[in-house]
Structure 1
Amino acid sequence: MSRLYAILSVFFLCGGGFFSFAQQPARHTFTLGESDFLLDGKPLQMISGEMHYPRIPRESWRERMKMAKAMGLNTIGTYVFWNVHEETPRVYDFSGNNDIAEFIRTAHEEGLWVVLRPSPYVCAEWEFGGYPWWLLKDRQMQVRSTDPKFMSVYSRYIKALAKQLIPLQITHGGNILMIQIENEYGSYSNDKTYLDLNRKIFREAGFDGILFTCDGADRMPDGYLPGYLPAVNGLEDPAQVKTLINRYHNGKGPYYVAEWYPGWFDDWGKKHADVSAEQSAKTLDQLLAAGISVNMYMFHGGTTRGFMNGANMNKDNPYSPQVSSYDYDAPLDEAGHPTEKFYAFRKVIAAHLPAGETLPPVPAAKPAIKIPDIALEQYAGLFSQLPKPETAGQPLPFEDLDQAYGFVLYRTTIKKGGMLKLKELRDYAQVYVDGKYQGSLDRRLKQDSMNLTGISSDAVLDLWVENNGRINYGPFLNDNRHGITGSVSVDGREIYGWNMYRFPFKTAGTFSFSKNTDQKTGHPALYKGRFTLQQLGDTYLDMRTFGKGFVFLNGHHLGKYWNIGPQQTLYVPASWLRKGKNEIVVFDELESNHRQLPSLDHPVLDQNSKK
């Protein structure tokens, strides 16, 4: 009990000491002992949970942290996402939901330490593993390597990030305990020179606290950096954790499971994750009883909004993009409500408290609401109002079109029908001939060709191509250019002469809408509705009658939907709704004739369809 007593002497004394920014911040030391982390020379066992600031509405950061405290956490882990901070080279955004410094300050105010993971590779089921899309414009650049061009832009970004975060380290009176360099690098490569360059970049930028690496147990020999703390991911047996870390850390600890998985993520078209609360609670109890520090991945997942979902792919498994919901079957669900797992973990942590100590009460959950069905009264067909095209002899990938995400319409003419083949389609295409829908091609299913019949001479061929999410993990990280990245042929003859129309959908755009009765079926389109609310609350858009697309609400991109599931709803935080007038825009590329958009007071994350 002495270890947890030291934890809670800091964790619960929030009134006027360490955790009050209104007063002079207390100075602390944080060091590595033989077997423990030492806070001011006394053992500190981190009971941590991962939360990601871009996946949680800024308005809800504090609420989620209060829930973390109520479950018994004393630390928050978070990645830092390079591609949200530098979407355009040298233009840095640390505002709004990207305000990582404010996220950390809020944690400080709520009595929580932070383990920072600015790698900058994050994996995280996040687009391109967190790397900015524009790195792919240079075909020769190799991320996660000693490539001088990569290291130059990487170092530049870390210096910009350091300006935000250096004052928040524990060495400067803040609450950042440790900083992770790289992320599961052993699962990718084994270049110790590259790892040491990472260390050098962080040190030169001013990160002067404890640095650590983390890897899966079987990959630690490749991914750890000698002389720095190695943490392990996914290992649950306490004896094995200690033996492994001893092996790579000069026979000593501290012992840190940087990613312990009480849940898992979902892929489109696959089953919803379901990890046992009872078994997870038993594992947590064993780890805590052994004095091991733990970061549960995830405590609260939130939502991957916009086009930021990633995808997995390796030599044995096909391309598999992730859904927008990052519920993760976590203790705190997508909307921030405590689950069965939350209460099971709270009970375990409470059992390890010293005599007389108690956890804070669990904040009351805010009930979700079902809002009236939203009438979609306006329609905008996209093929009838195309932007100015880019022209080229061969189809160009998104990166050569200076486009990050979204869609591109590739248009050309063909002389006859036959077997249409798209070489290296990335990732999903709707095929039209003279405006008539022919079918879809899907990288997930290894579909890259179809037979075109009844084609007239000089027929117009349209390929509506979507980036379903760049690969975030595995050996193909550098092979991540999107759109049509190879040739297009019919009956083996390559097609030349292309017009390419860009649809990045950073916003709902400036499209012209008409009455919904005027819509043309079978083409990608936008549907707009306006509605009035007197009562606000979290709600869930029910997308089960829609096909494939995304939704903007009052200017916020809520994420993607796809009728194949398992996710069938889109979470709407109450803070993004307005009392009075609201506006919604739905994009659908598969289904037509939408008239209404219903909602629910609960999520549907576990229904798959054969569509």
Structure 2
Amino acid sequence: MKKISLAILMLFCCFQLKAQHTFQLGDSSFLLDGKPFQMISGEIHYLRVPRESWRDRIRMAKAMGLNTIGTYVFWNMHEPEQGHYDFSGNNDVAAFVKIAQEEGMWVILRPSPYACAEWEFGGYPYWLQNKKGLVVRSKEPQYLSAYNNYIKAVGKHLSGQQINHGGNILMVQIENEYGSYSNDKDYLEINRKMFVDAGFDGLLYTCDPANDVANGHLPGLLPAVNGVDDPVKVKQLVRDNHNGKGPFYIAEWYPAWFDSWGEKHHTVPYENYLSRLDRVLAAGISINMYMFHGGTTRGYMNGANYNDESPYQPQISSYDYDAPLDEAGNATPKFLKFREVIAKHLPAGQTLPEVPAKKPVITIPSITFSHSNALFNTLPAAVKSVDPLTFEDLQQAYGYVLYRTTVTGGKQALLKIKDLRDYGLIFINGKRAAILDRRLAQDSTVVTLPAGKVTLEILVENLGRINFGPYLLKNKKGINGEVLLNGQAIHNWQQFKLPYDKQPVVKTGNVNADAPVLKEGSFILTSVGDTYLDMTNWGKGVVWVNGHHLGRYWQVGPQQTLYVPAEWLKTGSNKVTVLEMIKPDANTLQGLDHPILDVVQ
């Protein structure tokens, strides 16, 4: 009996421990354990930060005075192929939330499932586009079914970490800036019900820019506001959509901005934001800085903007964002000045932790490459078709596809690609004849075809699917239409799938002076630290170090370096691989101890 009583007592204690906090909506403020609570939050996306650095970044947030972390959950990373889920390694969002709890930080969770976030397809998995008739952000049955399966998978990992279950997740966001897209309240109610059915039975909220709050808000949920920091306006917007009550939450406050390839690097002086942060905190309004720490959009996960007024604008791999914490996780002057403002509004008796010292940096010695091979020497088996197939047709999410066919030569001709998505290298009998770039609205070029049978090849790169606006469903990649020669469609294609999602092994082979090349080398380190690879003298491509995809580089800038986290380096020999598309002669790679994010060529 004593053993049974002890077991019951332990279970009771565990229940008491897990049920120790409550979080509710008051008329004018959030209530944590029944007392007014002001969220001072900063956005960090766990997928843009190496798992080994999560705790470090969260501690930096705490040192600036934040008490909460906001994060998106990106559907395409957790269900890369339908029915195949991945919540391991850097995808282990539950571990990220748990680390925040261990560090005494609350979390705002944003599983959406649409995120925007300058992320590929706004976070949607590519395979949604293979379902004929599927319409994202709608009541279309195929979409709702796929969405429901995904959000249930997320709920299995995270619903138990809500504050009402003893965890540290204060609130969960449904949809994301939906008012900027549409205004279907029935659809929003379906969202709400799906979240509850998935186990998210705590506080739910919506967030929208000021002009779209009425469209995107679901009655009964808290309407949060994005992009406004005038306390009077924020309070009025919330009250108008929430029965005349608060609390008041700025879900995205932008003290910085992101960059696109070929465009100027964005910086926002901290001086412009100190008084604005001060007045928001003085008014008792909760706030989430987007971004507190951007990190890096590695692999092929950058998104793109596009609308009827502006061209296609793919975003760069660095998500430094001119945020308070830089890409490598170091405090910036903006961090220190924001910290001073936040310190003025701390509860009585509370002090801020010391700011951790800047992390060690190293400069990698100059690297030359021991193995080089033309990309076209390493092709897989071809997929044959009459007309060109898209990435989606080929069941390939990201990376590159080589298209090959044979045409009759002996003439000059206008080559036109209908819907090139997004960057194409044109080869005639193995020699590069042109480059077409969707950013520049280029889809055609005059080519000279020698006499006889001519091999025509088009290497196409997916530069990132559109992540915002009305064109989310016009996101197929590769060649999404016909290829015309003097107005006549070309048929009988071979497609070679080149996803390059893992660091390739490079064997020495012939290198064509015009063709893309794979290069492999190594460098020796006696100690490790954060570092940067200087890609200034290279053309366009991607880099791997020790199995980790660092992201894209492109001579057009503004990003000219790739950040290499210390956690991914080791003493002794380190392996580096480069896929270079347009400058195959480049053969020396320099290290730097600082980033270059502001040079447009």
TM range (shorter): over 0.9
Q: Which of 235, 246, 268 in structure 2 is aligned with 1:242?
A: 235
Cα shift at 1:520: 2.3
Superposed CA deviations along residues 264-311 of structure 1, whole A, max 9, x for unmatched, are 000000000111101112211111011110000000000000000000
Q: Report the residue type matching 1:557 in the other structure.
A: H
Corresponding position of 2:579: 587
Structure 1 position 554 matched with structure 2 position 546: yes
2:503 to 495, 508, 522: 508
CA distance in 1, matches of 2:378, 2:44: 41
Q: Deviation of residue 223 (structure 1)?
A: 0.7
Structure 1 segment 330-349 matched on structure 2, within 5 A: 330-349=323-342
Q: Deviations over 1:371-429 (max 9, x none)?
A: 10112121021112321100000000000011010000001112243110000110000
Distance 1:479 1:274 in 2: 31
The residue aligned with 1:3 is: none
Code of the residue aligned with 1:476 in structure 2: it is: Y
Greater CA drift, 411-420 or 341-350:
411-420
Alignment of 1:106-125 (within 5 A): 106-125=99-118
2:413 pairs with one of 414, 418, 433: 418
Asked if the contact 2:506–2:520 (Cα under 8 Å) also holds between the matched residues in 1, the reply is no
Letter in 2 for 1:274: T
Query: Partners of 2:347 and 2:23 in 1: how far apart?
Result: 22
Query: Are the counterparts in 2 of residues 87 and 132 from structure 1 also a CA contact under 8 Å?
Result: yes
**Paired residue for 1:528, among 504, 512, 520?**
520
Match of 1:188 among 178, 181, 196: 181
8 Å contact 1:528–1:583 — kept in the other structure?
A: yes
Partner of 1:241: helix, strand, or coil?
helix
Check whether the contact 1:281–1:341 (CA below 8 A) recurs between aligned residues: no
Could you report, residue by residue, the CA deviation over 1:584-603 in whole angstroms, capped at 9, with x for unpaired residues? 10011011212221010000
Superposition pairs of residues 430-449 of structure 1, within 5 angstroms: 430-449=425-444
Match of 2:362, SS state, is coil
- SS in structure 1 of the partner of residue 273 of structure 2: helix
**Distance in 2, Cα, partners of 1:25 & 1:278:** 42
Match of 2:447 among 452, 462, 468: 452
Code of the residue aligned with 1:286 in structure 2: it is R
Quick one: which of 277, 280, 297 aligns to 1:304? 297
* Partner Cα distance (1:385, 1:100) in 2: 36
Equivalence for 1:600: 592
**Greater mean deviation of Cα atoms: 153-162 or 379-388:** 379-388
Q: Which moved more, 1:454-463 or 1:67-76?
A: 454-463
1:462 paired with 2:482, answer: no
In 2, the alpha carbon distance for the partners of 1:281 and 1:415 equals 66
Q: Distance in 2 between matches of 1:401 and 1:559?
A: 23
Q: Which range is displaced more, 219-228 or 30-39?
A: 219-228
Check conservation: 2:239, 2:246, Cα contact below 8 A.
yes
Q: Which residue of 2 aligns with 1:275?
A: 268
Determine which of 471, 476, 492 is the counterpart of 2:466: 471
**Structure 1 residue 221: deviation in Å?**
1.5
Instruction: State the partner residue of 1:89.
Output: 82
Match of 1:163 in 2: 156
After superposition, the C-alpha distances for 1:100-158 in whole angstroms (9 at most, x for unaligned) are: 00000000001100000000100000000001111111242111111101110110111
Candidates 101, 109, 120, aligned match of 2:94:
101
Aligned to 2:4: none
1:325 alignment counterpart:
318
Assess if the C-alpha contact under 8 Å between 1:418 and 1:490 holds in 2: yes
C-alpha contact (below 8 Å) 1:37/1:254 kept by paired residues: yes
Read off the aligned partner of 2:110 and give its amino acid letter: R
Quick check: 2:516–2:579 contact (8 Å CA) kept in 1? yes
Other-structure match for 2:145 = 152
Asked if the contact 1:376–1:594 (Cα under 8 Å) also holds between the matched residues in 2, the reply is no
Q: Assess if the C-alpha contact under 8 Å between 1:377 and 1:595 holds in 2.
A: no
Query: Is residue 208 of structure 1 aligned with residue 186 of structure 2?
Result: no
| Structure 1 residues 16-64: Cα deviation after superposition (integer angstroms, max 9, x where no partner) | xxxxx9x944611100000000001110000000000000000000000
For 1:8, the equivalent position in structure 2 comes to: none
- Kept after mapping to 2: 8 A contact 1:162/1:207: yes
**Once the 2 structures are TM-superposed, how far is the Cα of residue 206 of structure 1 from its aligned partner?**
0.9
* Aligned residue in 1 for 2:364: 371
Measured after TM superposition, the shift of residue 456 of structure 1 is: 2.4
Superposed CA offset, 1:217-263 (max 9, x none): 01111111111100010011110000111100010100000000011
Percent identity reads 58
Q: Which amino acid aligns with 1:71?
A: M
Q: Name the counterpart of 1:569.
A: 561
Please state how far the C-alpha of 1:454 moved relative to its aligned partner: 4.4
- Aligned equivalents of 1:78, 1:513: Cα separation in 2: 43
Aligned partner of 2:184: which letter? D
The answer to whether 1:395 aligns with 2:388 is yes
Superposed displacement of residue 353, structure 1: 2.1
Given that residues 271 and 608 in structure 1 are in contact (C-alpha distance below 8 angstroms), is that contact kept between their aligned partners in structure 2? yes
Once residues 367 and 536 of structure 2 are traced to their aligned partners in structure 1, the CA distance between those partners, rounded to angstroms, is: 15
Residue of structure 2 aligned with 1:27, choices 20, 27, 37: 20
Q: CA RMSD in A?
A: 1.2
| 2:490 counterpart of 1:492 | no
**2:10: which partner in 1?**
none
* Residue 31 of structure 2 corresponds to residue 38 of structure 1: yes
Q: Give distance in 2, aligned partners of 1:501 and 1:371.
A: 35
Partner secondary structure for residue 285 of structure 1: helix
Map 1:258-297 to 2 at 5 A. Answer: 258-297=251-290
What letter is aligned with 1:348? V
Classify 1:362/1:211 alpha carbon distance in 2 versus 1 (closer, same or farther; 3 Å): same
Q: Distance in 1 between matches of 2:301 and 2:350?
A: 42
Deviations 1:153-206 (A, max 9, x none): 110111111110111000100000000000000111111111111001001111
Q: Within 1, Cα distance between the matches of 2:241 and 2:453?
A: 66
Residue identity matched to 1:465? V
Residue 375 of structure 1: SS of its match in structure 2?
strand
- Alignment partner, residue 519 of structure 1: 511
Partner of 2:307: 314
Residue 511 of structure 1 deviates from its aligned partner by 4.7
1:219 matched residue in structure 2: 212
1:199 matches 2:164 = no
Q: Does 1:407 align with 2:405?
A: no
Residue 53 (structure 1) aligned to one of 46, 57, 68: 46
Q: TM-score, normalised on structure 2?
A: 0.96
Q: 2 CA distance for matches of 1:465 and 1:598?
A: 28
Note the alpha carbon deviations across 1:329-351, whole angstroms, 9 max, x for none.
Answer: 00000000000100010000011
Aligned to 2:375: 382
Contact 2:531 2:564 in 1 (8 A): yes
* Cα distance in structure 2, aligned partners of 1:353 and 1:583: 47
1 CA distance for matches of 2:346 and 2:221? Answer: 31
1:402 match: secondary structure: coil
Q: Secondary structure at the match of 1:453?
A: strand
- CA drift at 1:510: 4.6
Post-superposition offset of 1:355: 4.4
- Partner SS, residue 467 of structure 2: strand
Residue range with higher mean Cα deviation, 563-572 or 139-148: 139-148
Note if contact 1:385-1:511 (Cα within 8 Å) is conserved in structure 2: no
